[in-house]
């Protein structure tokens, strides 16, 4: 494996990072909506959000990507491969982040909500100024844990035909006939991104546990 092959893998890594960032940021916005729907006082909204989360947590990510990919094509949208895949990952992320944040919102002591209501804060201010700042702190370790899952998950975009790191690895492996070396390098590249994040998540978790004592 020469310098050019390595550079090609780095290009793939770049796409993996871009795809992860796009899916995570878009998933953050829509995930917040899912979490708020899930914890809303309106039953119908609650149930719809719960069903949405169940579907995404109970099916393989690969199938979600396939269904979204073909559904978008059927809907007549002429999207590029990376756009279709990014939408798939965003929907996936919104369900998982929604469930994580539902948990954190519910973990904020009940008295906080009551106090906010007693101060006659409206829903918006109650969430924005009282509940969410505390919930975000609680949710941080799990959110980072999911980000790692998402980065690893983007490797499945390769099966749908998008050239990110895993697919770049497949291409180079077919060219050089050194699959072991190539996949070791590819694995190391994923590891180089995911491991620091995992360590950071664990550290936050410990800090939270100490703070909660």
Partner 1 sequence: MNYHFDFGPVMAGFPELLLGCVGTLWLAASGMILAIVIGVGGVVLRDSSVAPLRWLVIAFVELIRNTPFLVQIFFVFFALPFVGIRLNPMPTAIIALGLNGGAYAIEIIRGGVQSIPKGQIEAGRALGLHKLQVFRLIVLKPALRAIYPSLASQFILLTLTTSIASAVAAYELTSVAKLIENESFRSFEVYFTVTALYLIMAWLMMKVLAFIAARFLVYPVK
> What's the closest the beta carbon of residue 73 comes to partner 1, in angstroms?
8
Query: How buried is residue 110: exposed, middle or buried, by Cβ count under 10 Å (0-12/13-18/19+)?
Result: exposed
Residues 6+ apart with CB under 8 A from 154: 16, 19, 20, 23, 89, 164, 165
Binding residues for partner 1 (CB under 8 A): 54-55, 58-64, 66-67, 70-71, 73-76, 148, 152-153, 155-156, 158-159, 166, 169-170, 173, 179-180, 183-184, 186-187, 190-191, 194-195, 198
Q: What does the block give as tokens for 179? A: 């699959």
34 vs 132, beta carbon nearer partner 1: 34
76 vs 111, beta carbon nearer partner 1: 76
> What's the closest the beta carbon of residue 180 comes to partner 1, in angstroms?
5
> What's the closest the beta carbon of residue 192 comes to partner 1, in angstroms?
9
101 vs 190, beta carbon nearer partner 1: 190
Give the span between the Cα atoms of 63 and 126, in whole angstroms: 38
CB 42 within 8 A of CB 66: no
44 vs 60, beta carbon nearer partner 1: 60
Q: What is the distance of C-alpha 81 from the center of its chain?
A: 19
> What's the closest the beta carbon of residue 85 comes to partner 1, in angstroms?
14
């Amino acid at each position: 494996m020469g310098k050019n092959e390595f550079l090609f893998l780095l290009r793939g890594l770049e796409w993996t990072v871009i795809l992860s960032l796009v899916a995570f940021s878009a998933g953050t916005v829509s995930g917040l909506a899912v979490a708020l729907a899930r914890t809303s006082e309106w039953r119908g909204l609650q149930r719809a959000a719960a069903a949405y989360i169940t579907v995404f947590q109970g099916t393989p990510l690969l199938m979600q990507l396939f269904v979204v990919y073909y559904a978008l094509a059927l809907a007549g949208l002429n999207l590029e491969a990376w756009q279709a895949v990014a939408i798939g990952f965003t929907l996936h992320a919104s369900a998982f982040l929604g469930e994580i944040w539902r948990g954190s919102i519910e973990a904020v002591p009940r008295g906080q909500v009551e106090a906010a209501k007693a101060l006659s804060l409206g829903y918006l201010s109650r969430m924005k100024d009282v509940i969410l700042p505390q919930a975000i702190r609680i949710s941080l370790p799990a959110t980072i844990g999911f980000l790692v899952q998402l980065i690893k998950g983007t490797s499945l975009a390769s099966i749908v035909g998008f050239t990110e790191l895993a697919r770049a690895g497949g291409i180079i492996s077919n060219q050089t006939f050194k699959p072991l070396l190539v996949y070791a390098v590819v694995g190391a590249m994923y590891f180089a991104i995911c491991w620091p994040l995992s360590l950071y998540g664990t550290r936050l978790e410990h800090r939270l546990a100490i703070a909660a004592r």
